[in-house]
Amino acid sequence: MVTVNHDYLNLRGSYLFSEIAKRVAAYSAANPDKKIIRLGIGDVTQPLPTSVIEALHKAVDEQASAATFRGYAPDLGYDFLRNAIAEKDYQARGCDIRPDEIFVSDGAKSDSGNIQEIFGRDNRIAVCDPVYPVYVDTNIMGGRAGSFDEARGLWDGVIYMPCTAENGFAPELPAEVPDLIYLCFPNNPTGAAITKSALQEWVDYANRNGCVIIYDAAYEAYIAEDEVPHSIYECEGARTCAIELHSFSKNAGFTGLRLGYTVIPSDLIRDGVEIRSLWARRHGTKYNGAPYIVQRAGEAVYSEQGQKEVRQLVDYYMTNAASILAGLKAAGYSVSGGVNAPYIWLKTPDGMGSWEFFDHLLTKANVVGTPGVGFGPHGEGYFRLTAFGDHAATAEAMERIRRL
């Protein structure tokens, strides 16, 4: 008799952004005349940089001739891309990371969900609360979350690190020592950043206790302040305790193209095993590599022109972040984030619940955001807006919110 994977049956409801899309589609179908502004999911709106488009065209043309045609990509990524990443994202910042410690993939979402597979089922995970839902959902799928406590809205097998206004949305070192610690900075969803000295404390904690930090650096390009590190490998000792995840989606607009990478240093050894060898084995077995044309597009991001264009894209979105922050403050909202991150985290007005505010904003202003509670119980009473809209739509959304 066929049975299913019962760990999947433990998942609660549907994936957050699918649920939002469903609700917005229902509202839109019932109110076809309403012009909805979407500041919910962190999807980019501006076209790909010119250097990326040119690289894509060139790589497509190469596929048209037998002499330059490429079939399966190397499963861990082409050397031209791994070398560019090692040089520009790490060595240029003084981080000791080699190309053979970089694993190219189809994006940070897949990697952040898949990475748990190479760790034992009995590992205890620690996550921020609120948190990007992929980390928890994939550990539920992996049978690591225990049972759901309905009253508290928490999984009893997971160590939660509350991020609240009181602690500046910065998690504290957990008293109960976990095995795997998920950190994301600049943070999704709160937009909070971490200083290098604060991150060093996490690295020291992990090395002291034998933990592994899974560090999601998807929003690194948005860092504006000097004391905020661009990589966990800027911290001393991170090579022996940290995995880092990167995306090309938020900096260079690859949400539709799909490209990312994960760094696992050779010094990261647990249970007598080099962790990167397991990830390489997984890649080799389950993955045939990101497409050649997409990896060439990724390489173009590191060209001088590509870097300039990425900076312009980031500046474009951060102009939105500044106008959302200013607009919400002027309208009397309590807000944070939006300085080193493209997310603005606001306290819902008049004690409204997160979903109540979602409905309020959708029906009264036709603006879509993300309910904070969708990221975890400590997100209740909060709401996330993204800076990834276009300028006109973002300004219009602010005007509608001001008029509420």
Least separation in angstroms between CB 39 and ligand MLT = 10
Q: How far is the CB of 273 from ligand MLT (least distance, A)?
A: 29
Cα separation, 288 vs 136, whole angstroms? 26
CB of 46 to ligand MLT, least distance (A): 15
Task: Specify the residue, 17 or 27, whose C-beta has the smaller distance to ligand MLT.
Answer: 17
Give 203 or 335: the residue with its C-beta nearer to ligand MLT.
Answer: 335
| Residue with smaller CB distance to ligand MLT, 43 or 396 | 43
- CB closer to ligand MLT, 40 vs 229: 40
Report the alpha-carbon distance of residue 401 to residue 404 in Å, rounded: 5
Q: Which residues bind ligand MLT (CB under 6 A)?
A: 41-43, 109, 132, 188
Query: What b/e readout covers 6-41, taking b as 16+ CB neighbours within 10 angstroms?
Result: eeeebeeeeebeeebbebbeebbeeeeeeebbbbbb
CA 122, chain centre distance (Å): 25
Q: How far is the CB of 373 from ligand MLT (least distance, A)?
A: 14
What is the token pair recorded at 306?
């590509």
Q: Is residue 337 within 8 Å of residue 194, measured between CB atoms?
A: no
Q: Which two tokens stand for residue 122?
A: 């009995």
Between 131 and 203, whose beta carbon lies closer to ligand MLT?
Answer: 131
Based on CB atoms, which residue is closest to ligand MLT, 8 or 15?
15
Closest CA to 183 of 165, 208, 201, 166: 201
- The C-alpha atoms of residue 49 and residue 339 are separated, in whole angstroms, by 23
Q: In the complex with ligand MLT, which residue's Cβ is closer, 43 or 106?
A: 43
> In the complex, what is the shortest distance from the CB of residue 191 to ligand MLT, in angstroms, rounded to a whole number?
11
Write down the least CB distance from residue 396 to ligand MLT, Å. Answer: 20
> Using CA atoms, how far apart are residues 91 and 392, in angstroms rounded to an integer?
39
Find the distance separating the first CA and the last CA of the chain, reported in whole Å: 57
Helix, strand, coil in percent for the chain, rounding step 5: 45, 15, 40
Of 246, 123, 190, nearest in space to 376 by CA: 190
- Looking at beta carbons only, is 51 or 112 nearer to ligand MLT? 112
Q: How far is CA 284 from CA 74, 214, 279, in A?
A: 9, 21, 9
The residue at minimum Cβ distance from ligand MLT is 42
Give whichever of 105 and 188 is closer to ligand MLT, judged by the CB atom: 188
CA–CA–CA angle 68, 69, 70 (5° rounding) = 115
Tokens at 66, concatenated = 């037998």
**Is residue 241 within 8 Å of residue 267, measured between CB atoms?**
no
Closer CB to ligand MLT, 41 or 224, in the complex = 41
CB of 219 to ligand MLT, least distance (A): 9
Judged by CB, which is closer to ligand MLT: 188, or 348? Answer: 188
Minimal distance, residue 70 CB to ligand MLT, in Å = 28
Q: How far apart, in whole angstroms, are the C-alpha atoms of residue 68 and residue 389?
A: 38
Phi and psi for 166 in degrees, rounded to 5? Answer: -65, -40
291: closest CA among 55, 102, 98? 55
CB 259 to ligand MLT: min, Å: 13
State CA 376 to chain mean position distance. 16
Least separation in angstroms between residue 214's CB and ligand MLT is: 15
**Closest separation between CB of residue 249 and ligand MLT, Å?**
6
Token pair for 302 = 């590191």
